A and B are shown apart, each in its own frame.
Chain A
Amino acid sequence: MQKADTKKQQEISAATSLSDKELQGARQVINIFVLAWKNYGLYPEDHVNTKRSLENLVTAFNSFFTDHEDLRLIVEKDRLLCGPEIIYEVSPEAPSEDIITLLYRDGIKWIEFQEGLPLEEIAAFYKIAYKYRLFAEETEGDIVTALMDEELEYIDFKAVDIFWQDLMIMDFSQLPPPAPPPEEVADQEEKDQSRETEEPEGDGIVARSIADPSIGVAQLELSNLDYVTLQQMVQEEENWVITEDLVEALMIIIKSQTEQEKFEAVLGFISEEVVETIELEKFDLLALLFQSLHKLFSPKSPTVQDWQRSRIDRFFQEQSKPEVFQLICDKLLQLEIIEMDKLKALGQALIYLSPELIHFLLPVILQSRSHELQKMVSAVIVHLSRRDIGPLEKIAKKHGTEMGGKLLAILNRLQGDRVNRILFKMCDHPSDTVRGKAIKELVDRDPKYAQRLFSLIDDPSKEIRTSILAAIAKHKSGGLENLLLNYLKENSAQKDPAHILACYEALGRCGSDNSIPFLSKILLSRGWNSFMGSGKLIFREGAAIALALLDTPEAKDVLQKASKSRFKVIRKAFDGTKRLTVSGDNTND
Chain B
Amino acid sequence: MTDAPKYRSYSQFEEFLHNFYSLSQTARIHSDNHTLVLEGIEKFSESINSCMDSDSLTFKISNDQLYVGDEKLPYNRTTKNLFDNIIRYFDARVLEGVRLLEAVKQVSAKEILAFMRLLDMSGQQPEPLAWLKDGLATENILWVELIKKTERPQDEESYKSKAERRERARKDYTYTKASVEEVAQKIKEGKGEVGVRKTVRVVQDMVTNLIEDDEVYSAISTLRVFDDYTYTHSVNVAMLSMCIGRRINLSRRNLVNLGMCALFHDLGKIEIPNEVLHKKNKLDDRELQMIQEHSLNSSRLLLKLKASPDSKARILVPMFEHHLKYDLSGYPHADWKKPLTLFGKIISIADKYDTLTSSRAYRKSLLSPDRALGYMFDRAGKDYDPVLIKVFINIMGVYPVGTLLRLDNGELALVVSSPSRDFAKRPLVCILEKDDDGSYIKKEIINLDERDSETDSYIREITETYHPSDLGIQPVQHIFSG
Contact = CB atoms under 8 A, between A and B. Distances in A.
B223 A180 contact: no
B291 A195 contact: yes
Interface string A191-223: 111110111011111011111100101001111
A48 interface: no
B114 interface: no
Contact of A192 (B355, B362, B371, B462): B362
A227 interface: yes
A292 to B, nearest CB: 12
B65 to A, nearest CB: 18
A365 to B, nearest CB: 31
A220 B423 contact: yes
B377 to A, nearest CB: 6
B422 A180 contact: no
A185 B336 contact: no
Contacts of B360: 199, 202
Interface in B288-346: 288, 291-293, 296, 299-300, 303-314, 316-317, 320-321, 323, 330-332, 334-336, 338, 341-343
Contact of B282 (A187, A210, A224, A256): A187
A222 B394 contact: yes
B173 A230 contact: no
A221 B390 CA distance: 7
A167 B321 CA distance: 34
Contact of B343 (A157, A237, A268): A237
Interface in B353-387: 355-356, 359-368, 370-375, 377-378, 387
A197 B439 CA distance: 36
B425 A172 contact: no
Interface residues of B, number: 124
A198 B321 CA distance: 13
Nearest to B3: A158
B364 A190 contact: no
B194 interface: yes
A276 B313 contact: yes
Interface in B102-135: none
A301 interface: no
A240 B366 contact: no
B391 interface: yes
B150 to A, nearest CB: 27
B363 A167 contact: no
**Chain A interface residue bracket vs B:** 35 or more
A167 B178 CA distance: 9
Contacts of A156: 4
24 contacts: A139-B306, A142-B201, A148-B201, A159-B201, A169-B171, A178-B469, A181-B366, A182-B280, A197-B291, A197-B330, A199-B355, A205-B367, A208-B375, A211-B370, A220-B423, A222-B76, A227-B77, A230-B248, A244-B338, A249-B299, A252-B296, A253-B299, A268-B303, A273-B309
Interface of A: 107, 136-142, 144-145, 147-149, 151, 153, 156-161, 163-164, 167-170, 172-173, 175-182, 185-188, 190-195, 197-199, 201-205, 207-212, 215, 217, 220-224, 226-227, 229-230, 233-234, 236-238, 240, 242-246, 248-250, 252-253, 256-257, 262, 265-266, 268-269, 272-273, 275-276
Given A181-B359, A238-B250, 19 more contacts: A149-B253, A151-B252, A170-B170, A173-B477, A179-B359, A185-B363, A187-B282, A194-B288, A198-B291, A201-B375, A208-B378, A211-B462, A224-B77, A234-B248, A237-B342, A242-B313, A265-B303, A266-B303, A268-B303
Interface of B: 1-4, 6-7, 76-78, 170-171, 173-175, 177-179, 186, 191-198, 200-201, 204, 223-227, 248-254, 256, 280-283, 288, 291-293, 296, 299-300, 303-314, 316-317, 320-321, 323, 330-332, 334-336, 338, 341-343, 355-356, 359-368, 370-375, 377-378, 387-388, 390-391, 393-394, 398-399, 422-423, 425, 439, 462, 465, 468-470, 472-474, 476-477, 480-481
